[in-house]
Amino acid sequence: MDNNFSTMLRPYLKYAGTIDIGADSVLRDLGLDSMRAIELLFAIEDTYGVVMPDEYLNDVAFATAGSLWAAIESLGPAGRQS
Amino acid sequence: MSAMVEAGLTEAVAEVAAAAEKYAEETDEQAVFPVQALDAMRATGLLGLMVPAEFGGGDGDLSDLVRVTDALARQDMSVGMIFAMHCQQVLAIVRHATGPLRERLLSELGPGRRYLASVTTERGKGGHLLSSESTTDQAGNRLSIDRDAPIVTGGLHADAFLITVLTPDAISPAQVSLVYADRTDLQATVLGGWQPLGMRATQSVPMRLVGSVAADQVIGTPGGFHDIVADTFGPLAHIGWAAAWLGAAGGALSRTLHHVRSEAGRKQYDASSELLLSRIARIRARLDTVNALIQQVIRRWTEEPDHTAVSFQLLVNTLKFQAAEQCFAAVDEWVELAGLRFGYQRRSPLLLERVFRDLRSASLNYGNDRLYLVNGALALRDRQVSFG
């Protein structure tokens, strides 16, 4: 997981407070709801220059910080915007 | 459902509907629970409709639930809502409770004598279903509960409650569990009254519930209420409410059509009037649209194992706000058509005034405005606009 990734996530997790965000952190438990998930999606696309396919926008990819990072990584260069 | 069970169900529904009709005016007037209809639901075993046959229940499916709710709501929308919400609780147990707890609870619920109420509202969280501020403590194998709830439908008469609380070790308000609590395990105090515009007979009073339950009485996984909502609670709430609203509006339409075609009605209405015909068509279309949405949600819920798909969640929420808006609009239009004498007065035989007040609650019952926001965010996730 990119070191900056947890810093990027934190503003979208209303219950995260000062809790450490690791790969196993359950995003829903930390306050990610469907409204904030969309804001987070836009932030990911802007920060990492990727386009998340619709089929990634589900509870599986957005389950934990680690699963979300894996989804971003799996897009690789092919998923990057020109 | 076998022909014999089917015949018994028809009889049971007729008996409960008769009790609902007989006391509807009184319970509306006094804003009190329809205990006679609840007694009939217990006596006929109708409360066991959604329990599998192996536990002595009615083995009903969602079509049965909608059919029964519709029939009851034609007499009294509050009774339809009470029944549908009980069935929602039962299905949460059927689908999410496990092991000995599931066996025990379903054996108790199967004969249909026990009535379950839902405790999900909470002060301070603004109606957000998926979070809680109610902490619990676990000491040994007991889970202590001290729960303040501003709206508990049927709270005075329930034999048991399904209550949302935080898990004992919660680190955030999102770690919510659904806990089963028998009334005898709780001290239930009513904190205030219930004097609303409509659906008065639901008597949804504010309550405080204090007590303790066995720690294994958590339905589903601890902290896993979100999964129960996505799979069962959400879809069933919206299907059940929509069926009650459609039944209430359908009952109003039926009574009015009987009136229009009666001898007295024919003197009042010109059945060849283009205004009358086009208004009737519009009202009927609203109700057919809601019915079609209910049937489509039932079909997908039954046929597709994954209830978390974006297109399904969109549809379930669309059912809720469309049913709320269309059913209310249909009755509003009838009031306009029926006029001051038949449409606007208390105790007019068409009962439009009561149904109008009842249905005004539909958009507020889990606010449409909030659901629109949720669906807006969901729709953004589906650029292909796939209908599933």
> Within an 8 Å CB–CB cutoff, is residue A31 touching chain B?
yes
Contact B78, B16 (CB under 8 A): no
Task: Please name the residue of chain B whose CA is at the shortest distance from the CA of residue A16.
Answer: B172
The answer to whether residues B77 and B21 touch, using CB atoms and an 8 Å cutoff, is no
Tell whether A29 is within 8 A of chain B (Cβ).
Answer: yes
Confidence tier at B118 by pLDDT (50, 70, 90): very high
Query: What pLDDT does residue B61 have?
Result: 97
Q: What letter represents residue B283's amino acid?
A: I
Return the number of other C-beta atoms located less than 10 Å from residue A17's C-beta: 11
Give pLDDT, residue B185. 97
pLDDT band at B298 (very low <50, low <70, confident <90, very high): very high
Closest A-chain CA to B175: A29
Q: Tens of pLDDT along B59-84?
A: 999 999 999 999 999 999 999 999 99
Whether the predicted pLDDT of B184 surpasses 60: yes
Antiparallel, parallel or unpaired: β B116-119 and B160-166:
parallel
Smallest Cβ distance to A58: which of B174, B175, B308?
Answer: B308
Phi (first) and psi of residue B151, to 5 degrees: -140, 110
Instruction: Please give the residue that has the higher pLDDT: either B4 or A34.
Output: A34
Q: Quote ipTM for the complex.
A: 0.85
Which of B171, B382, B383 would you mutate first to test chain A, the one with the most A CBs within 10 A? B171
- The whole-chain average pLDDT of chain A stands at 88
Q: Quick one: average pLDDT of B192-199? A: 96
CB neighbours of A78 closer than 8 A, spacing ≥ 6? none
What does pTM read for this prediction?
0.94
Considering CB atoms only, which of A31, A34, A54 is closest to B172? A31
* Cβ-based burial of B292 (10 A; exposed 0-12, middle 13-18, buried ≥19): exposed
Average pLDDT over residues A19-36: 92
pLDDT at A10 over 50: yes
Q: Which residue of B125, B131, B172 is the best one to mutate when testing the A interface, meaning the one whose CB has the most A CBs within 10 A?
A: B172
The pLDDT value recorded for residue B268 is 87
| Conformation bin of residue B142: beta by default, left when phi > 0, alpha when psi is -120 to 50 | beta
* Structure tokens, B254: 């039926």
B171/A59 touch (CB, cutoff 8 Å), yes or no:
no
Mean pLDDT of B178-197: 96
